[in-house]
Chains A and B, each alone.
Chain A
């Protein structure tokens, strides 16, 4: 199909979609006025399970089975990416050039790193009380770790980030989720039912299994995103295709102390 034909097919389809969608929108109840029967029931269910953050309750308690599905998508997407981005037989690894970092940038990144990491862990831990949870906190914590790449260089990041550990962590997160579900079955209830004591509303130990599942998701998302970014960084920085970058001499000794100093300081 030539680009022009494709564009015309799109324009016809888009016009049809726009007309139908606009008609549907005009028939929808006005913005902000709809009654929400499911929302009201979800709020009641969450409060009866002593979970202050209703969204966490929906994700990890009321619809925990659905979240297992989502987690599995995440899990398999990470595995797929790892398989696709592994080092092929005809590629070789090259030590990345130690980069020089401007001191203000380095100081700022090193200063923010512990705070960002702490915020990520805090957001995971308080998922059932305040906005946040395993999904968001996991991404924050994983991204925070990569501030080290900005502060020092790739080799410093590689030294403090044992990738195998994160790969195991990802699998452990997924396994913990399933095991929590099966434990509910062994306790004489349904798969992924909330069988733990609910605790007091708005305390760290409230919510029953929602808290455990939240932690499992936090572990899996943190590890999954770290593994993903590591694979992409590997490809972008280290792995070379045959015949690539042959003519550029690398003097790794020149400022090699750079990364070491940074590692100690971090």
Chain B
């Protein structure tokens, strides 16, 4: 039973990691990273590591995505153009 849970959690983690990398928009990536943190916390719980799961839950699904979102918000405010939120920063040469 535990084995099945571990396999499911492993596949979930692998899928979430792939999705987090392939989402090129940092805003969406932050949300997927949050989900990856949740999946990792689940996996660590099944691997009998509640300490690590707690750490991963707090950091991976809250602090890191939050800091990425704040950075995106800061970086995408172009001088003069107000809140250019829809414009992907970094594509302008």
Contacts and interface: CB of A to CB of B under 8 A. Distances in A.
Interface of A: 53, 55-56, 123, 131-133, 135-136, 139-140, 142-143, 146, 225, 228-229, 232-233, 235-236, 240-248
A247 B51 contact: no
A139 B79 contact: no
26 contacts: A53-B51, A131-B50, A133-B51, A136-B54, A136-B55, A139-B58, A140-B58, A143-B58, A146-B66, A225-B63, A229-B66, A229-B67, A229-B70, A232-B71, A232-B74, A235-B70, A236-B71, A241-B79, A243-B79, A243-B80, A244-B80, A245-B77, A245-B83, A246-B80, A247-B80, A248-B82
B59 interface: yes
B84 to A, nearest CB: 11
Nearest to A146: B66
Contacts of B53: 131
A229 B79 contact: no
Contacts of B71: 232, 235-236
Contacts, number: 65
B54 A229 contact: no
B12 interface: no
B70 A245 contact: no
Interface string B38-73: 000000000000110111001100110011001101
A148 B71 CA distance: 20
Interface of B: 50-51, 53-55, 58-59, 62-63, 66-67, 70-71, 73-74, 77-80, 82-83
Contacts of A131: 50-51, 53-54
A228 B82 CA distance: 26
Nearest to B53: A131
A136 B51 contact: yes
Contacts of B58: 136, 139-140, 143
Contacts of A228: 67
A71 to B, nearest CB: 15
Contact of B79 (A56, A146, A244, A248): A244
A223 to B, nearest CB: 14
Given A228-B67, A229-B70, 15 more contacts: A55-B51, A133-B51, A140-B58, A143-B63, A146-B66, A225-B63, A229-B63, A229-B67, A233-B70, A236-B74, A243-B79, A245-B82, A246-B80, A247-B80, A248-B82
Contacts of B80: 243-244, 246-247
B6 to A, nearest CB: 9
Contact of A135 (B55, B67, B70): B55
Contacts of A225: 63
Contacts of B83: 245
Contacts of B66: 143, 146, 229, 232
A126 to B, nearest CB: 12
Given A131-B51, A136-B55, A136-B58, A244 B77 contact: yes
A228 B83 CA distance: 24
A247 B82 contact: yes
Contacts of A245: 77, 82-83
| Across the A-B interface, the 7 shortest Cβ-Cβ residue pairs | A131-B50, A139-B58, A232-B70, A236-B70, A136-B54, A243-B79, A236-B73
